[in-house]
Amino acid sequence: MDFNSRDPLSPAFWDERFDKAFTPWDRGGVPERLRQFVHDTAHGAAAAGVPLPTTLIPGCGSAYELAYLSEAGWDATAIDFSPAAVAAGKEAVGPEWQDRVMEADFFAWQPAAPLQCIYERAFLCAMPRHLWPQVVERWAQLLAPGGMLAGFFFFDNNPKGPPFGIARAELDLLLKPYFTCVTDEPVFDSIPVFAGKERWMSWFRL
């Protein structure tokens, strides 16, 4: 398939792929490990008598997870800078939740209320490697101490992308000034583009 845009930092890059239905990163539903995380978090919040976390999904694409979190009672917002991705997300979540899918630049977007959770799903690996320190710094700015960065991290050394894989040592180097890892597990229901190369991780904001 031929594409005109080759720059993943441009919304046009992603618009063109959504418009041509070329979205190999899109699983078409909610990963099982996220379902478990939502269940466990709800259990812990109920036991502690605290509300469910206010959550951001950056680079949301089709945003299936947004509907799932919202239906589970989470205060969740999904953002993407690609108009075509936002349109796909609004269509996927349906009329009840489409107002929670917003066109926005992750580096400039400001939450209406303090965030307690950021869900990572193919956002970091969509970014060219030279921007990773800025992504991590922005995660740290958006999350208050005690917040959680949780989701799927893609490990690979292929120089081409997206997806741009990271080495575990490099991920640790980027995150450990701000976060400590509390969960690191293999993923058993990956879609082909990520199979054998992703792990579910949760990182506690220091």
CB-neighbour burial class of residue 160 (10 A; exposed 0-12, middle 13-18, buried 19+): exposed
Res. 19: pLDDT tops 90: no
Percent of the chain with pLDDT over 70: 99
The correct answer on CATH 3.40.50.2000 for the domain covering 31-205 is no
Res. 26: pLDDT tops 80: no
pLDDT in tens, 152-175: 999 999 888 899 999 999 999 999
pLDDT in tens, 100-112: 999 999 999 999 9
Q: In sequence order, which ranges of the chain are alpha helices (DSSP H)?
A: 11-19, 32-48, 64-71, 83-93, 132-142, 168-175
Q: Which two tokens stand for residue 12?
A: 């046009």
> What integer pLDDT is reported at residue 1 of this predicted model?
63
The pTM of the whole model exceeds 0.85: yes
Q: In sequence order, which ranges of 49-198 are alpha helices (DSSP H)?
A: 64-71, 83-93, 132-142, 168-175
> What integer pLDDT is reported at residue 128 of this predicted model?
94
When mean pLDDT is compared across 60-64, 76-80, 195-199, the lowest value belongs to 60-64
